[in-house]
Amino acid sequence: MKKALIPGLVFILAFTVDTHAQSSEVFNKKGYKLTVENQDAAFSNDLKNKLVETFYEVYPKLARAYNKKTVKEVTFVIDTAYDGVAATDNGRVVFSSKYMTKHPGDVDVVTHEVMHIVQNYGQSNGPGWLTEGIADYARYKFGVDNAGAKWSLPAFKATQNYENSYRITARFLVWIEASIKPGLVKDLDGQLRGHTFTDDSWKNETGKTLDELWAAYAANPTISVKS
């Protein structure tokens, strides 16, 4: 991945006296505005630029694929106090500066988190495990450098269940798309956003219940892994 700033990017740099917003930059490209609030003066400028580049690489693609009405303005916060990896709410993604500094290759945290912005399920009637599974499915499909982060879908194990969420659910979705119904993720994503998803959605879309799908997957879980 290139380390230079994205060509043609317009940005504004402003320092503030607030220790919780040490610097703020605004980027405008491809019809999207990205504000980066950095609370860590020691945070790598190259890594920050990679996060920005990843956003502009994946967000427009996710918007076209899943939700063309997704928000046009997004904020990234590089947070010195946050102890998780990253979290997203209402167009705002908080990244742990400690985690990102220790794992600078894991730039596709951006892909997973901004997919949550695209999802915009609100008070969804769908399960949380599916929401996270779809976000990791998007990371698998659209990620720019999963290999660099040593991130991949896990091998199937008999102890797994679709409710395990994240990569385990994502692998299940990859299998369904390849073996049962291409486009299912897009359909389910639309239903979750439109609040029309029900437990019957699986059978309505594929002819099989969720448990029947999982049983078929467990019997032959082979997938063609994306390189």
Residues 109 and 149 in one domain: no
- Domain that residue 195 falls in: 128-219
Task: Assess if residue 226 is contained within a domain.
Answer: no
Domain boundary among the residues 90, 119, 148 is at: 119
Residue 69 token pair: 């009405």
For residue 162, the model assigns a pLDDT of: 98
Domain boundary among the residues 119, 136, 155 is at: 119
H or E segment and range at residue 185: helix 184-194
Q: Is residue 114 over pLDDT 90?
A: yes
Residues 98 and 146 in one domain: no
Distances 168 to 1, 12, 102, 105, 201 between C-alpha atoms, Å: 27, 41, 24, 22, 20
**61-96, pLDDT tens digit by residue?**
999 999 999 999 999 999 999 999 999 999 999 999
**6-29, pLDDT tens digit by residue?**
344 443 333 333 444 589 999 999
**172-227, pLDDT tens digit by residue?**
999 999 999 999 999 999 999 999 999 999 999 999 999 999 999 999 999 987 65
Total domain count, the chain: 2
Task: Assess if residue 4 is contained within a domain.
Answer: no
Residues 68 and 141 in one domain: no
Task: Assess if residue 206 is contained within a domain.
Answer: yes
Residues 53 and 143 in one domain: no
For residue 226, the model assigns a pLDDT of: 65
**31-56, pLDDT tens digit by residue?**
999 999 999 999 999 999 999 999 99
Residues 134 and 215 in one domain: yes
Distances 175 to 5, 155, 181, 192, 199 between C-alpha atoms, Å: 37, 12, 9, 20, 19
Task: Assess if residue 5 is contained within a domain.
Answer: no
Mean local confidence (pLDDT), 101-105: 98
H or E segment and range at residue 33: strand 32-38
Residues 102 and 20 in one domain: yes
Task: Assess if residue 3 is contained within a domain.
Answer: no
Residues 183 and 95 in one domain: no
For residue 22, the model assigns a pLDDT of: 81
Please enumerate in sequence order all residues whose Cβ is within 8 A of that of 67, keeping only pairs 6 or more positions apart, or say none. 118, 119, 120, 189, 193
**117-155, pLDDT tens digit by residue?**
999 999 877 999 999 999 999 999 999 999 999 999 999
For residue 5, the model assigns a pLDDT of: 36
Task: Indicate which CATH number applies to the domain containing 29.
Answer: 3.30.2010.30
